[in-house]
Amino acid sequence: MVKWGMIIQRDPNVGAIVARPKDSGWGYHYGTRLPNGLVAHTMPGRGKHISTIQQFAAGKPVQMMYLDRTPAGNLLAAQRAVMDLGGRYELFRDNCETDVNRVHFGIPKSPTVKWWTGIG
């Protein structure tokens, strides 16, 4: 019998932060890697949703950032990423960066938005 934890441990990418260049060329689009090649992320017009890694990439190179935590910690991050699926995208309060920071670090913040609003 295969247990859930054993499945997660076989996919070392679960719980990783994924990033790719934004379509605008300014900054990065972020998401959280889920099992089976899926990514939870937030986008304008789509809100919080799940895509395949290929759909997330949108033809651009994808980087994976791994945090130093246990497989169970990675699974918890993936679970937090799917808890508010269907939520709205809001540029200043709930964008892809705030979502990833909330999921992985417990603090919904967007240094990119802060930087842009600081120079405006």
Beta strands across the sheet bearing 38-43: 47-52, 38-43, 28-34, 17-21, 63-65
Domain ranges of the chain: 4-119
Per-residue pLDDT reduced to its tens digit, 43-102: 999 999 999 999 999 999 999 999 999 989 999 999 999 998 888 888 778 889 999 999
pTM for this model (two decimals):
0.82
Distance CA 32, CA 38 (A): 9
Nearest alpha carbon to residue 41 among 17, 11, 68: 17
CB 76 within 8 A of CB 82: no
* pLDDT of 119 above 80: no
pLDDT tens, 41-51?
A: 999 999 999 99
Q: Residues 8-36: pLDDT tens digits?
A: 446 778 999 999 999 888 889 999 999 98
Fold of 4-119: endopeptidase fold (from Nostoc punctiforme) (3.90.1720)
Query: Over 60: is that where the pLDDT of 7 sits?
Result: no
Query: How high is the pLDDT of residue 117?
Result: 61
HEC profile of 71-110: HHHHHHHHHHHHHCCCCCCECCCECHHHHHHHHHHCCCCC
> At what angle are helices 96-105 and 71-83 packed, to 10 degrees?
140
More confident residue, 40 or 7: 40
What per-residue confidence (pLDDT) applies to 67? 93
d(CA 62, CA 31): 10
Tokens of 51: 């895509």
Residue 2 has pLDDT above 60, yes or no: no
